[in-house]
Amino acid sequence: MAAIIHGFQDDSADAGGPTYPVAPTRTRVFQLIVGILCITMVANLQYGWTLFVLPMDQKFHWGRPAIQVAFTIFVLAESWLLPICGWLVDKRGPAQLTFIAGLMTGGSWMLNSVASELWELYVASAIGGLGVGIVVAAGIGNALKWFPNRRGLAAGLTSGAFGVASAITIIPLQTMIAGSGYEHTFFWFGLFQGLGLLILSFVFRAPRRGEAGVVTTRVISQAKIERAPHQVVRTPVFWVMYAVFVLVCTGGLMATAQLAPIAHDLGLEKSPVTILWLSLPALTFALSLDRMLNGVTRPFFGWISDIFGRENTMFVAFLLEGCGIWALSQYGSNPVAFVLLTGLVFFAWGEIYSLFPALTTDVFGAKNAAGNYGLIFTAKGTASLLVPLGNILAEHSGGWHTVFWLSCAMDVAAACIILFIFKPMRISAQSADDNNPRAVDTPISKPAMGAAE
């Protein structure tokens, strides 16, 4: 195994060497597709988790809060270690790290299949979370580097695979769990997804110097000074971005992890719902629609942000999520409303995984795109700490209304902060950089042969 890993080429974008011509469009699109497929292989580790909670509780009687600690550990490992994963991806390229991630993610679900103690479940979650973090850093970081003028769309297409892939596999997961047990499902899905990453790792690479072309867009303000992660954490704009990410991510994570328990507590789990001649149980319908919309929203809002700006797009999306959560608190007891409104919430929430990486690269440069986004992504780990509190708050308040109202308030606050506080700060900081002579010495892109994308 060590020989195989050592045999990967150091294909990082920062490896140095000569300047290459701009890569053909087919090369860049191929690498984008490889990154999308890698994300597809790990989507279920997070978004399919909710389907396993009740079967595990019914078998071992550990209690839902104790089982959801495993979800929190998964997200913490995925997010808080992402800066290290991103730094390694920036230095060594995506191939080596993706190979290792295949072993970790596949192995984690296979370990879940035989776990008979809570600590085993927690260990598997930590391994799987770290593996997913590596794939996130490699896939999204690579998309940001290959498409400097379409970062929102490229990051959105890549991260969108999370939602679309999990939507497609919701029914197969449910069917296999019902027919063969959750243990059998963990094992075979883990094996398939792990092998997929191992194969993809051999064709995954970052752009060499000059291959991505030069930045030509005038719609999005882009940094002239490249900042490394240790420099990023010293800037005020980073911490405002971090706070906004935590606020928006909290409500979405609660919905992701708690959707099945919420439907169960509202008595909607098996209520029949018919929309556009399609009839499914409410929970199955909601899970499939939510995951699909959560995937579609990422390239959609990413594309919108490339045209109208990151902060303006975030403001609209965050307010939309807040309105969706408020409406869910009022009308969610109706099966059809539950399906449609949870879909709206996921549609307005999922865009953070395309807009924040694009914004981070705009503000701090593309050279350390994976590592810098890894720093911002740790906010997801911070938000995940509040996920088990959703169960506790719901139990003490007699329902989910208090949780919904709190999440709604967080979204409205985030919308106001990003437009009225962060945007002026970012413009002021980049104006100072423009007047800094050091900006001339550290350009974000060097001229390359051929046209930009």
**pTM of the entire predicted model:** 0.78
Residue of 383, 327, 328, 323 whose CA lies nearest to 356:
383
Residues 314 and 355 sit within 8 Å (Cβ to Cβ) = yes
- Alpha-helix residue ranges (DSSP H) falling in 201-281: 229-232, 236-265
CA angle, corner 449, sides to 446 and 453, nearest 5? 80
C-alpha torsion sign, points 200, 203, 209, 212: negative
- Domains of the chain, first to last: 21-202+225-441 (1.20.1250.20)
12 vs 368, more confident: 368
**pLDDT (tens digit per residue) in 139-162:** 999 999 999 889 999 999 998 887
CA angle, corner 426, sides to 422 and 430, nearest 5? 175
276 DSSP 8-state letter: T
Identify the band that residue 219 occupies on the pLDDT scale cut at 50, 70 and 90: low
Half-sphere exposure of 245 (CA within 13 A, CB side): 26
What pLDDT, on a 0 to 100 scale, did the predictor assign at position 8?
Answer: 38
Q: Which residues are CB-neighbours of 152 under 8 A, at least 6 positions away?
A: 301, 302, 303, 304, 305, 306, 310, 354, 355, 358
d(CA 171, CA 392): 29
What phi-psi label fits residue 267: left (phi over 0), alpha (psi between -120 and 50 degrees) or beta?
left
Residues 96 and 86 sit within 8 Å (Cβ to Cβ) = no
Tell me which H or E stretch contains 414: helix 401-417
Within 10 angstroms of residue 48's Cβ, the number of other Cβ atoms is 23
Mean pLDDT over each residue of the chain, to the nearest integer: 85
Residue 442 φ/ψ, nearest 5 degrees: -130, 65
> Can you read off the two tokens belonging to residue 51?
């389907």
Percent of the chain with pLDDT over 90: 45
Half-sphere exposure of 406 (CA within 13 A, CB side): 18
**pLDDT (tens digit per residue) in 333-355:** 899 999 999 999 989 988 998 99
d(CA 402, CA 213): 50
Residues 158 and 36 sit within 8 Å (Cβ to Cβ) = yes
Q: How far is CA 335 from CA 230, 286, 298, 327, 331, in A?
A: 49, 9, 26, 13, 9
What pLDDT, on a 0 to 100 scale, did the predictor assign at position 10?
Answer: 40
With 60 as the cut, is the pLDDT of residue 442 above it? no
Residue of 353, 365, 252, 240 whose CA lies nearest to 296:
353
d(CA 337, CA 108): 36
d(CA 234, CA 101): 30
What pLDDT, on a 0 to 100 scale, did the predictor assign at position 360?
Answer: 95
d(CA 31, CA 41): 16
**pLDDT (tens digit per residue) in 272-290:** 888 888 888 888 888 888 8
Greatest alpha-carbon span in the chain: 66
Q: What is the mean pLDDT of residues 7-18?
A: 49
d(CA 265, CA 148): 46
Residue of 430, 241, 426, 234 whose CA lies nearest to 352:
241
